[in-house]
Structure 1
Amino acid sequence: MIYILLCVALAIGAEIDVNTFSNYIEVSQEHVHIEWLLDLDEQYINATSQSIFRVNTNKLKKIDLDIYQLSIIAVYLSSSGNVLQHEIINKGDQSLLQGDVLSIQLDRVYTRGEYIKLNIKYNLDSKGARALGFLTKEQTYSKAVPYLFSQCEDNNCRSIIPLQDTPSIKVFFTATVLVKDPRINVFMTGNKLYNTKFKLLNNYENLQALTLYQFELDIKIPAYLIGIIAGEVVEKSTGNGTYVIAEPHFIDEYAQELSDLPVYMKKMQDYIGPYIWGDYKIVILPASFPFGGMEHPLLTFASPTIIVGDKSGVGTAIHEIAHSWVGNTVTGRNWANFWINEGFCVFLERKILSRLNGLDSVKLDAINGNSSAFTSMQTFGLDNSFSSMHPNTTNRNPDESTSRVPYEKGYQLLTYLESLIKEDPFQQFLRDYIENFKFQSIDEDQLYQFLLSWVRKNKQEEAQRIIEEIQKIWKKWVYTPGLAPITIDLSTPLFTDANNLAKAWIDGKGQAPEKANDFQQYKPNQKSVFFQYLIDNYKDVETAVMTKMDEKYKLTFYKDQKTVYKWYRLVLLVKYDQALEGVHDFVSKVGVSSYLKVLYDLLGQNYNKQAYDWFDENKTFYHPVVVQAIEKILQKYPKKLIVE
């Protein structure tokens, strides 16, 4: 099947998605409607999906959809109710990595241009739905009702809906969600409807006792942007069509921290153009949410790690706002083109942050990001395609390739292009790019060809020189693993000052340096540079230095989680046992995947018993995606038998 799709794709000049088993080129999903009855106490969902497909070939006899650990009950035509034969094709060693195929035999041969409407009845639960995080009521602040949240990116939506789980396909999305407990509020991707619009697909006993929610999104999105939260949550306006959603206990604190959302939205629109999605809502999730943020339209998710108390963590909110243009409106066609979402997004994020915080601060963000990307490259291997902007995820779960690499190398490429084209014309290029590819999924070559065409049209006498420079570096920048072929200028005295202070601590061998108090004035990104110098030179950091720093700065149990994460990396490298309980506390309260993967890797190497003990202790707290990632990491460090 992959070979056939490859031939078709090559014929039309587009990259295929190697991480879907669906026949999405022959038939494309146009609309997905779901009807879910939630049982959060039992962590179980009774589900029905209704989809509309458009036929793109002259002889279509079957529809293949992606599924992961779903219990399929029946497939039938929506119009007649006639049951269709279906088969679940087990994909062998790919089954637990990427799922299986739901192959549906159609009632006749369909031809190009026809539409097919199907219903699928199925069930899902916490054991198989790796996109969902189920929290018991005891894991919430109020301890009143359970909590549910999703994380479909990369290809985890197939674990909650049978569909074409590929960024190449965009669908209109609607939903009906029913809950048994009226205290449970529900939000999903899309606009919440306050009058019932969609007829129920099923009959329910005691329907009047259920609370019903409906949602609709009238702009097409890829499957990975479908999101849900359900629990005791409320929303609060922060003005001008922006809202914060959280558990009631935290709503005022979080809304205050994010009170500048209207400012961020205005600055982003001033730079890149109108916001087309309606309201902007950001959910601050419980601590087990596995990422810094997730850009579902009208329902951005963010980790509580962004709530620091001084608004210094809001870069994540600006990043997710930027996705409304790059990622959500223009989308990378497959996971090899993920950088088209994230590289552009980081570029926009830092443009706005430079206007808010100054260019030197943004340079520090870029330095820190590049350091994280290089750490990932070292982990993957500098010659591994995962260390490039275009990872080969064939027969792999694309989650495995997730790192800062596409973010930072993509940002650096766009920054270099801006230096060639110049700032104001490059801003116009970005606006024209979004308008040209609006609502489409594209690959790097489509972007490349558009860029060259735009330069020819808009740069006149400079065009040939700029085009030659772009042609020299483009494919190498995108496809070659390792650092970018050209180093952009990130020099700033803030970086030098932080490094000098870190070096002074090492040289002091346990004595506080003369400028030790400068650290207290650093913003989090400068503190990150300070710690990165110590991490890079950890073999020179003596225990006495760690003890004095901890005493001076009160680093263990530090409130800012981005800062304390760096400290705990250093703790595990230096084997500073006195702070180990702080690491234990951190991995028990923070669910962010990127933090946990690094810390468990170091724990596996240097504190094997604690690695296994703490993982077993916190498995039910972590999101299923994180559990899978940590299990794979710990496979490198077999559990050691401890003899008393």
Structure 2
Amino acid sequence: MRFLLSAAVAALLALSACDGAPGGVPERAAPAPILTTEQAIDEFTHARPQEARVTHVALDLALDFDAKEVGGTATLDVLAAPGASEVVLDSAGLRIESVADAQGQPLQWALGEADEEKGAALTIALPSAGDAAPESARTIVITYKSAPEAEALQWLSPEQTAGKQHPFVFSQGQAILNRTWIPTQDSPGIRQTWEARITAPADLNVVMSGIIQGEAEDAGEGRHTFTFRMDHPVAPYLIALAAGNIEFRELGPRTGVWTEPETMDAAHAELTDTEAMVTAAEGLFGEYRWGRYDMIVLPPSFPYGGMENPVMTFLTPTFIAGDRSLTGLVAHELAHSWSGNLVTYSSWRDGWLNEGVTSYVENRISEEVYGAKRAGQEYALSFAAVEEMVATLGADNPLTAMRTPAGSSPFDTESAAIYDKGTVFLKTVESIVGREKFDPWLTQWFDSHAFQPATSEMFLADLRQNLIKGDAAREERLMLDDWVYGTGLPANAVKPDPAAFADVDRAVEAYAASDALPFEAWGGWTTAERMRFLQEVPQQRNATQLAALDRALGLSATGNNEIKFLWLELALKNRYQPAVQAAELFLGSVGRNKFVSPLYRALSEQGDWGTAIARPLYQRTRAGYHSMTRGNVDEILGWSE
């Protein structure tokens, strides 16, 4: 597959020869600041960055598919405060073989007792600075291997891929999983530049979330080495890797897609709007600063819809519907190039700063590329998700707050509070101050904090200083603190246009009253309209009603996974036996947690009927799910190996 790499390298090499150091190698960016306010503290790391912090990671690793491990060295540049004698890293299951300084002299190190949630502290004695180096700059070299069960890595057998001939591996680092394969300070507020040399079997290609440097090199013994660089400081969870029988196809001057050959035609066709999305985003909120925007469509076991790894978004194949109706996912991951990757939360408690802002930007990109109708419908779905969350959990539930309060885990906060409530918040601010003022303010927020961490209090302070500017009446109308720190849905929330789903809502009323099905209208509805219908219809249906619904709307046969999921969830909640086989096929072919966990939950809530289906099915499918998905379903089913 080496010839396949050449097309990609031709497109990518121009990005590695930018202004900077001699020879076309860009200079490494200055270290990003470490925030020290209370909101900035990340309780899910062992690191003490105020004393000694990692600024750069250089990986030299080999992929071993038989042992299911990566192994080699991680060379870390460390910036130490005066008097600091050690640096503390994060490790979860890493097998440390040795630690040395840049000259190969051994350094003392100790691996602490593992915490169930955040792993173990890897404490390393700092070497003295070299004669030519600043007093505070140190280098340490860690030789190590990941464990076969490293949670960030999913090793797939050939049978689990589209081509069935070659193995595959991909990483998923967010939230705190990269410490299972990279020894570093695994915290979003400790931004790091990085580079990597990855050696893999010669019949596979490797991609990472950095710019590839030249052609793959022959490493001997049937292996090749790939080299990557990321010269912007990024949150450590954004270091990502994938390797398999993948090929590249260009989408535009700075966009392209990687995937298995068997998936390429469908993926490429679905992603043809990507270059237009990048252009639209730049027109809204300023320059795209990462050079290229490429994507890889992964095998179905990938647990998320997408992951915004810089220059290489990871995507689930479940977004491929054949009509580009689910490409809001791509707009979302692209939007992270501004909110999340460019400006990143310092603490996991500020999840909305990444995801809520991104969901708002996604909606604006969608409006530019697909029009106001689609954007309005997508906003209405977000608003409905917030309303449902509040109705289900209660308006005073701390898990409905955008910034997760003390006493609650940010990993337990409802996704609607982070994504959808954040969208509604910014839409509300926009409507009160006007786009002509809001857009320049948001653009300057991205510019002012580019490649740096941020907190909720910083966001609100910037908004007050540069947008509200002392206008007391506007401050009162915006209810900023209620939005960010309060629970429920604030009273000033901008409601969606009631016309967005007027036809659909009338169809729902007719169906609820007399089982009248929108057979003719369904064919002309958008995906958002179809989702709205399935979400709003009465959720208690008998077998006759479900059979009629399926027959009239072709739900079991749909190729749109969002629609299929809503149908299967409705059917399983009503113990509709004819849908069981379709559900088993679906759960055996996708690993996206958004679909998998709710369907197993729907089964588990149906007593003996559901348990008799769920447990043997999960026993067959569990090994094909990512560790994150497995953890969720294990809890739902009370599963124990």
Is the contact made by 2:380 and 2:497 (CA closer than 8 Å) also made in structure 1?
Answer: no
- Contact kept, 8 Å, 1:363 with 1:492, in 2: the verdict is no
Asked if structure 2 preserves the Cα contact closer than 8 Å seen for 1:30 and 1:51, the reply is: yes
1:464 counterpart letter in structure 2: A
Q: For the Cα contact (< 8 Å) 1:147–1:231, is it kept in 2?
A: yes
| Partners of 2:75 and 2:386 in 1: CA distance | 41
Matched, 1:175 2:196: yes
Please state if 1:331 is matched with 2:344: yes
1:377 and 1:86 map into 2 onto residues whose CA distance is 48
Alpha-carbon distance between aligned partners in 2 of 1:576 and 1:439, rounded to the nearest angstrom: 51
1:642 corresponds to which residue? none
Residue aligning to 1:561: 561
Instruction: Supply the AA of the counterpart residue of 2:162.
Output: Y
CA distance in 1: counterparts of 2:545 and 2:376, whole angstroms:
28
Q: CA deviation at 1:613?
A: 1.5
**Aligned equivalents of 1:36, 1:395: Cα separation in 2:** 37
1:318–1:349 contact (8 Å) kept in structure 2: yes
- SS in structure 2 opposite 1:482? coil
Match of 1:354 in 2: 367
Contact 1:455 1:466 in 2 (8 A): no
- Quickly say closer, same or farther: Cα 1:249–1:393, change in 2 above 3 A: farther
- Counterpart mapping for 1:399-414 below 5 A: 399-401=411-413, 403-414=415-426
1:185 lines up with 2:209 in the alignment: no
Aligned identity (percent) is: 26
Quote how far apart the aligned CAs of 1:638 are.
10
Asked whether the 8 Å contact 2:189–2:347 carries over to 1, the reply is: yes
- Counterpart of 2:179, as a letter, is R
Q: Per-residue CA shift, 1:411-440, capped at 9, x if unaligned?
A: 111111111211111111011111111111
Change (3 A) 1:148 1:28: same
Contact 1:72 1:123 in 2 (8 A): yes
For 2:626 and 2:394, the matched residues in 1 are separated by 27
Equivalent position to 1:130, from 127, 151, 155: 151
Tell me what 2:175 maps to. 154
What do the CA deviations read for 1:152-195 (whole angstroms, capped 9, x no partner)? 0111111111111111011011000001x211100001111116
Residue 3 of structure 1 is matched in structure 2 by none
Q: Which runs of 5+ in 1 are unaligned?
A: 1-8, 198-203, 640-644
Number of aligned residues: 603
Q: Which amino acid aligns with 2:183?
A: P
- Check conservation: 1:519, 1:527, Cα contact below 8 A: yes
Q: CA deviation at 1:611?
A: 1.8
**Aligned match of 2:84:** 60
Report SS of the residue matched to 1:389. Answer: coil
Equivalent residue, structure 1, for 2:264: 251
Indicate if the aligned counterparts of 1:506 and 1:545 stay in contact, CA closer than 8 A.
no
User: Do structure 1's residue 504 and structure 2's residue 510 form an aligned pair?
Assistant: yes
Task: Give matches, 1:70-469, under 5 Å.
Answer: 70-78=94-102, 80-91=103-114, 94-95=115-116, 97-107=117-127, 114-127=136-149, 129-179=150-200, 181-194=201-214, 207=220, 209-373=222-386, 383-392=396-405, 398-401=410-413, 403-456=415-468, 463-469=471-477
**For the Cα contact (< 8 Å) 1:376–1:403, is it kept in 2?**
no
- The AA in structure 2 aligned to 1:437 is H
Q: CA deviation at 1:393?
A: 7.5
Q: What's the Cα RMSD here? A: 2.5
Deviations 1:17-48 (A, max 9, x none): 11111112221110011111111233122231
Can you list the C-alpha shifts for 1:44-72, whole angstroms capped at 9, x where unaligned?
2223111101113x321221111111111
Give the Cα separation in 1 of the matches to 2:390 and 2:111: 37
2:22 counterpart residue number:
none
- For 1:306-325, what per-residue CA distance to the aligned partner results, in whole angstroms no more than 9, with x for missing partners? 11111111111111111111
The alpha-carbon distance between structure 1 residues 75 and 315, as it changes in their structure 2 partners (threshold 3 A), is same
The alignment's TM-score, normalised by the length of structure 2, stands at 0.89
- What secondary structure sits across from 2:419 in the alignment? helix
How many angstroms apart in 2 are the aligned matches of 1:407 and 1:106? 41
Say if 2:40 is the partner of 1:15: yes
Instruction: Answer whether contact 2:100 2:141 (CA < 8 A) is retained.
Output: yes
Q: Which amino acid aligns with 1:499?
A: D
Distance 1:591 1:64, change over 3 A: same
Question: Partners of 1:604 and 1:292 in 2: how far apart?
Answer: 24
**Distance in structure 1 (CA, Å) of the matches to 2:90 and 2:405:** 20
Q: Which residue of 2 aligns with 1:4?
A: none
Mean CA deviation greater in 13-22 or 227-236:
13-22
Structure 2 unaligned blocks of 5 or more:
1-33
